[in-house]
Each structure stands twice: as structure tokens, then as C-alpha cells.
Chains A and B, each alone.
Chain A
Amino acid sequence: MITIKFFASLKAIAEKEDEQIEIQNSISMDQLTDIISKSSPKMTDLLRNKKVMISVNQEMADSDTVIHDGDEVAFLPPFSGGSFN
């Protein structure tokens, strides 16, 4: 089981804040993208166009990151903390 979290603008797009997904041992980022595209279809374009960042266990992930059972995966829109530019 992995935990998926959506933040900020992505909550409305995914229409959820988090979800649990059963996986066998481990999955690739491509496999994760396919799973999320099915469970949250409105996320598909953002994922394909790489307009969201993905973290695994609070560390930024890349296309080679492998997701293991028990991991926490988060979908992160571009950050906007701090004050104005």
C-alpha cells in the first residue's frame, strides 16, 4: 500500500486530498502515472506535460525513482511560498 497526497491546486483537479493504493512490491514512475491517470483522469495532462513535481517520502523524485510498498508519494504544483517577487 502506498499513500498518495495532492496539494494546493491539485486537490481540486484530482478531486481528493489523498488516497491509498495497493501495489505489489514496487512500481516505476511511469506505472504510477498510469495509475493516477486512471484514478484521477483530470491529472493526466498535467502528468504528461510534467507540470507537477512528485516527491517520494518527502524527497523530490525523478523519472528513475522507484516507489516501494509503504512509501508516501505527493503531487506538488509549482511552489509559491515566501512573499511576492
Chain B
Amino acid sequence: MSTTTDSKIRIQLENFSVTDEIEAMKKVSRNIGGITTFLGTGRELSKGQNIAQLNFEHYPKMAEKKLEEIRQQAIKDHGIIDMSIIHRIGPIEIGENIVLIVAVGEHRKETFTACEWAIAELKRVTPIWKRETTTNGEVWVQDTP
């Protein structure tokens, strides 16, 4: 699992710097005029329960493959210049970074739509699972049927 900003698709244990990731994407093209980011973070309250910790598990190879497919489709269908997607796995504390999507394009409009589509698609098709630790124990979250 690489922690450098070279790869545009990464699943990693370590935290990431939003600034570094944006700066890395700015180097992709001199034609970039708009950048939209989505940053997902660990929230304390879920369905009325206080969460002490989150833990993410993924299916190695398949998860990376799905994220790369999302990146390619976002570029093709939304007309953006490029996109990076970084998702953390392992234990995550409240307030910590979980997932970052950076969409870069010539204009803002396509980066907004690409970013919104990408996070929804990530949740729909990427084999990543979240386990919440609450005062009542641990539970696997199943957001989508």
C-alpha cells in the first residue's frame, strides 16, 4: 500500500494530507481551472449511538480495481481532466480522514458533478466495509442492500 502521492488510486492504513493530495493533482495539467474535493471523516454519532472507533476492511485488488474504474468513468462521462481517490482502512478515530476524492477540470461545473457521482459510486460498488465500535459493542455497517 503506497503512501506517496504518485498514485491516483490508493487504499492505505496511513492518514493523508489533503493539501499534498490537491497539490499533486494540480501538477497534472496547466489547464486546470477548477478543483472539487470530497473529504469523508469519522463522525461521533451514528443512528443515535456514540461511536468510539471505526474500522475499515477491504477486498485487496478488487477494491483498487473498482476505484480505478470509477476514476476512468468519471473522466470519460463527466469531462474532467483527472481524479484521485484515496481511502483509508484499519482503525480510524473520530474526526480522522476516511476518504478523499479530488476532481480536477477546466471548469468548476464538471468537477462538482464528477465528485458527487464518484463518492456515491464508491459506496455502491467498492468492496470496503465499515465496523463501528459503540458502547454496545461492535457492529458491521451495511449501508446499501
Interface residues of A (CB under 8 A from B): 5, 7-9, 55, 58, 74, 76-85
CB-CB under 8 A for A55 and B62, given A7-B57, A7-B129, A76-B127 = yes
CB-CB under 8 A for A58 and B40, given A79-B126, A80-B128 = no
CB-CB under 8 A for A85 and B143, given A58-B62, A79-B124, A79-B125 = yes
B99 shortest CB reach to chain A, Å: 5
**Binding site secondary structure of chain A:** loop
15 new A-B contacts, CB < 8 A, other than A82-B98, A82-B99, A85-B143, are A7-B129, A74-B127, A76-B59, A77-B129, A79-B127, A79-B128, A79-B144, A80-B141, A80-B143, A81-B122, A81-B129, A83-B99, A84-B40, A84-B43, A84-B46
* Cβ-based interface call for B58 (8 A): yes
- Residue among A55, A58, A76 having the largest count of chain B Cβ atoms under 10 Å: A58
**When the two chains form their complex, are residues A81 and B131 in contact, meaning their CB atoms are under 8 A apart?**
no
Contacts of B145 in A (CB 8 A): 78
**When the two chains form their complex, are residues B119 and A82 in contact, meaning their CB atoms are under 8 A apart?**
yes
Q: Give the number of residue pairs across the A-B interface with Cβ within 8 Å.
A: 81
Interface residues of B (CB under 8 A from A): 40-43, 46, 56-59, 61-63, 65, 87, 98-99, 119, 122-131, 140-145
